[in-house]
Amino acid sequence: MNASFSNALATAREAAGHQHYPQGALYVVATPIGNLADITLRALHVLAIADTIACEDTRHTQTLLRAYGIEKSSHQLLAVHQHNEAEASGRVLEKLHAGERVAYVSDAGTPAVSDPGARLAHAVTAGGLRVLPLPGASSITTALSAAGLVHDSGHFVFEGFLSTRSAERDAAVRKIAAEPRAVVLLEAPHRIEALATALVALGTREITLARELTKQFESIHTLPASDVPAWLQEDTQRTRGEFVVVVHAAAAVTEPGDDAGARALKLLLDEGVPLKSAVKIAAQWTGGSRNTLYDLALSLRKDAVRDTD
């Protein structure tokens, strides 16, 4: 057991043990995406009382369980991954019909979201048995919460991993360019530069790169799509680790003139707010194009200089 979690199981029993955990049910349990402390008390309790733990990788899960002080024999761990999910679902159903509590975990995060688990949950439901989800860590929502999607009103599309084939990846990026909502992608370190090159086609559309979320070397950086390849190449460390890539929604197009963005920009500049900050704030407030507002700000500053000559 990790010494930091010596009291975690007792606390989990006290906090969650009084609840009802029916037998013959599948518990879909979210596990940390990096930081071991991001486990819920209910997840700890269910993992402790489960008769069987179905998991994407038995060795990885055994290491995770032992970190929390949960001891399970190898016979209590059942491999259920993308290559055997259909077949293994039958074994899980047998255990559920025998009255066992079965917990399912993927390697990290919430199962069945770009991870195995969906077929298993479907099979259990189709068999007339219960599926009980235990919410917790998710790299998708973690990245979204820090991306600052001020133009998106909470709407986004989850695409996950794009094709490794360049032609298919480029075609997917063209579809993203036409998508008005934010788009969430996942990418591995050895493919992030190829994805960055493809995303250059999105021009000034903002991209948030969330790398190694919740881990020691976590980094979250937002910049225009056209700048991503150069930014990655500036430091080799920036291409290491697992990525969540958030493509922000395209900002509403505004033209210079007597519109909300222009009025907000002029007010900010009149109050002495620095030009770049004024452009950023006006764009966030009104949904205006940052490039358009920046050009307008330069024009207003030139006019102000001429007026003082």
Question: Nearest 5°: phi and psi at 226?
Answer: -65, -20
Distances (CA, A) of 60 to 54, 121, 241: 12, 21, 18
The residue ranking higher by pLDDT, 272 or 119, is: 119
| Predicted local distance difference test score (pLDDT) of residue 305 | 57
| Predicted local distance difference test score (pLDDT) of residue 31 | 97
End-to-end CA distance of the chain: 74
Which of the four pLDDT bands, split at 50, 70 and 90, describes residue 119?
Answer: very high
| Predicted local distance difference test score (pLDDT) of residue 262 | 84
* Model confidence at 237: pLDDT above 60: yes
Which of the four pLDDT bands, split at 50, 70 and 90, describes residue 238?
Answer: very high
Average pLDDT over residues 211-224: 96
Q: Work out the percent of the chain whose per-residue pLDDT is above 70.
A: 94
pLDDT tens column, 37-52: 999 999 999 999 999 9
* Model confidence at 160: pLDDT above 90: yes
3-state secondary structure of 140: helix
3-state secondary structure of 212: coil
Question: Nearest 5°: phi and psi at 2?
Answer: -65, 125
Helices (H) and strands (E) in the chain, counts: 12, 10
Which of the four pLDDT bands, split at 50, 70 and 90, describes residue 301?
Answer: confident
The residue ranking higher by pLDDT, 242 or 309, is: 242
| Predicted local distance difference test score (pLDDT) of residue 255 | 47
pLDDT tens column, 19-75: 999 999 999 999 999 999 999 999 999 999 999 999 999 999 999 999 999 999 999
Total count of residues recorded for the chain: 309
| Predicted local distance difference test score (pLDDT) of residue 307 | 54
Average pLDDT over residues 139-146: 96
Token pair recorded at residue 196: 């960055």
pLDDT tens column, 2-11: 767 889 999 9
Average pLDDT over residues 268-293: 86
The pTM assigned to this predicted structure is 0.78
| Predicted local distance difference test score (pLDDT) of residue 150 | 76
Question: In angstroms, rounded to a whole number, what is the distance separating the alpha carbons of residues 90 and 97?
Answer: 11
Token pair recorded at residue 139: 């790299």
Domains of the chain: which residue ranges? Answer: 3-137, 140-247, 260-308
Beta bridge partners of 58: none
* Model confidence at 83: pLDDT above 80: yes
Residue type, 296: L
Average pLDDT over residues 167-176: 95
* Model confidence at 254: pLDDT above 50: no
Contacts of 304 (CB under 8 A, 6+ apart): none
User: Which CATH architecture best describes the domain 140-247?
Assistant: 2-Layer Sandwich (3.30)
State the SS3 of 268-302: HHHCCCCHHHHHHHHHHHHCCCHHHHHHHHHHHHH
Q: What is the chain's mean pLDDT, rounded?
A: 91
| Predicted local distance difference test score (pLDDT) of residue 295 | 84
Q: Work out the percent of the chain whose per-residue pLDDT is above 90.
A: 74
| Predicted local distance difference test score (pLDDT) of residue 225 | 97
**What CATH number should be reported for the domain whose range is 3-137?**
3.40.1010.10
| Predicted local distance difference test score (pLDDT) of residue 217 | 94
* Model confidence at 258: pLDDT above 60: no
